[in-house]
Structure 1
Amino acid sequence: MPDFPLATALAAGPVVLDGGLATQLEAQGHDLSSELWSSRLLHDAPEAVVAAHAAFAAAGAQVATTASYQVSVEGLAAAGLDATEARRLVVRSVHLAERGAPDAWIAGSVGPYGAALADGSEYTGAYADEIGVDRLRQWHRPRMEWLAEAGADVLACETVPAAAEAEALLEEADMLGMPVWLSLTTVLDSDGVVRTRRGEPAGEVFAMARDLDAVVAVGVNCTDPDGVLAAVTAAGVAGRPVVVYPNSGERWDAAGRRWTGTAGLSPHNALTWVHAGARLVGGCCRVGPRSIGALAAALRPAPSGEPVGPHNGH
């Protein structure tokens, strides 16, 4: 990994994230249809995870996000694995990322409670109010501690759908004293307001991070690219660098069980986000190494020090 903190790099200019790890693992021929998704491969095919990280690193990603998004004690217990094995797999996720991307910062993925339910509820946040902040803190704590102990450079608290869960994650990160970014999954409503999937104004959630030293960035992921620019503006209230890694822009046709639309993360859009204030930029679902490579090329500094792109004559 680099010999200086991610926060230092973000202060100097844009940093390129990786893309959808599950997307790349599927492209490598792996079936991720189980309730454990890509985390199953931490147990069954660790070398595949190394190869996926290496593909993104070769494309120009400067951050490798671990395959721990859906790892939980409860989820693994349902698959016949105990808490000791859960800890071992979380630690392994960090070491596999280090092997695949030795020159990258390692972001320990902390997915939402809803991801472990494998029922799509991370896109509604319906559970958050019922469970409450204290219980969510308890649920997230072991994985966050294991990722920190394993040597992750930063915790990626990502695809967070509700204010209560964001509060729980921020309080836990503050207690742990570990660098963290908070990334919401959001929608842009008809009035142009960026909202969590639970319906709260995203700006109010971002503001929770304003006075927490552990927070290195706030922003959005697993959202439509069309809503990212508004989200960058909304995230500015936190006074932190902004992280954005949207989906490819394709949409899932549930009836036809297929993706529709145009795949790929637009480098032109990414440049627009950077000029609006984004500093940590990558992709999520359906974004593979090719798209990250195009993004990295677009954000590579020109001789003037500005990212290459239409804003500086390239």
Structure 2
Amino acid sequence: MPDFPLATALAVGTVVLDGGLATQLEAQGHDLSSALWSARLLHDDPEAVVAAHAAFAAAGAQVATTASYQVSVEGLAAAGLDAAEARRLVVRSVHLAERGAPEAWVAGSVGPYGAALADGSEYTGDYADEIGVEGLRQWHRPRMEWLADAGADVLACETVPAAAEAEALLAEADMLGVPVWLSLTTVVDGDGVVRTRRGEPAREVFAMARDVDAVVAVGVNCTDPDGVLAAVGAATASGRPVVVYPNSGERWDAAARRWAGTAGISPAGALGWVDAGARLVGGCCRVGPADIAGLAATLAVDDQLS
């Protein structure tokens, strides 16, 4: 990893994130159709995870995001693994990222509660009201602590679909005192308002991070590239640097478990996001090393011209 914090880098320029880790693992020939998704390979084939991180690092990614997005005690228990194994795999995810991308910052992926359900509910947030802020804090706490203890440079609290879950993650981050970024998954409504998947105004959710010292950035991921520019504007309510890593423009059909639509992310479009205030820029689902290489090259040229 670099010898200075990620927050320091964001104060002076743009940092390139990696892309979709699962996308690259599938490109390497791995079947991720199980409920554990890419987390299965933490147990079954850790060297594949190292190779995926290395591919993004070679493409110019300055941040390696761990394969812990889908890891939960409950999900692993359903696969016959206990809580001790869950912790071991979370810790392993950090070490694999360090091996695959030794010059990068390691972002410990903290996926939403819905991701562990493997039913697409991270794109609705329907569970948030029933579980509540305190329940979500308790659910997220172990993984966040394990990632921090394993040495992750920052925790990526990502694909967050609801205000209640954002509140829970921010409260846990404040308690842990480790650097985090908060990334919502959002949509833009017919009036041009950026909203969480649960329907709350994203600007109000981003504003929750204003007084949480642990937060190094807020923004969006796993959203349509066409909605990113509006989301950058909404994220400025936090007073923090902005992180954006959209998907390819295709959409996940949870029932059919496949992607539909046409890929639309472009490095040139990312320049508009940076001009609007984005400082952490990368990709999410269906964004591979070639896309990140184009993004890194375009942003490097932009930095030279600035």
Q: Is the 8 A contact 1:264 1:287 kept in 2?
A: no
Question: Residue type matched to 2:249 in 1?
Answer: G
Residue 45 in structure 1 maps to residue 33 in structure 2: no
Structure 2 distance, partners of 1:75, 1:160, is: 18
Residue correspondence of structure 1 range 1-314 to structure 2 within 5 A? 1-252=1-252, 259-263=259-263, 265-301=265-301, 304=304, 306=306
3-state SS of 2:213 partner: coil
Identity over the aligned pairs, expressed in percent?
87
For residues 135 and 162 of structure 1, the distance between their equivalents in structure 2, rounded to whole angstroms, comes to 14
Q: Structure 2 CA distance, aligned partners of 1:256 and 1:39?
A: 21
TM-score scaled by length of structure 1? 0.95
Query: Cα deviations across residues 65-102 of structure 1 (Å, max 9, x unaligned)?
Result: 00000100111011000000000000000000000000
Shift of the 253–140 alpha-carbon distance from structure 1 to 2, 3 Å rule, reads closer
Give the Cα separation in 1 of the matches to 2:145 and 2:53: 22
The 8 Å contact of residues 185 and 196 in structure 2, kept in 1 or not, is answered as yes
Q: Which runs of 5+ in 1 are unaligned?
A: 307-314
> What is the CA–CA distance in structure 2 between the aligned matches of 1:264 and 1:56, rounded to whole Å?
20
RMSD across aligned C-alpha pairs, in angstroms?
Answer: 1.4
Task: Measure, in 1, the Cα distance between the counterparts of 2:246 and 2:97.
Answer: 21
Matches of 2:149 and 2:75, distance apart in 1: 21
Distance 1:176 1:58, change over 3 A: same
Aligned 8 A contact 2:16 2:282 in 1: yes
Counterparts of 1:138 and 1:81, CA distance in 2? 20
Other structure's SS at 2:211 match: coil
Quote the Cα distance in structure 2 between the aligned partners of 1:251 and 1:302.
Answer: 30
Q: Structure 1 residues 170, 256: closer, same or farther in 2, change over 3 A?
A: closer
Query: Equivalents in 2 of 1:266, 1:149: separation in Å?
Result: 36
Q: Distance in 2 between matches of 1:264 and 1:234?
A: 22
- Following superposition, the deviation at residue 249 of structure 1 comes to 1.1
TM, length-normalised to structure 2: 0.97
Deviation at 1:260, TM superposition (A): 4.2
The amino acid of 1:17's aligned partner reads L
Q: Distance in 2 between matches of 1:286 and 1:188?
A: 21
Amino acid paired to 1:138 = Q
The residue type equivalent to 1:63 in the other structure is V
Q: How far 1:254 moved relative to its partner?
A: 7.3
CA shift, 1:191, in A, is: 0.2
Residues 255/152 of structure 1: CA separation in 2 closer, same or farther (3 Å cut): closer
Gaps of 5+ in 2: none
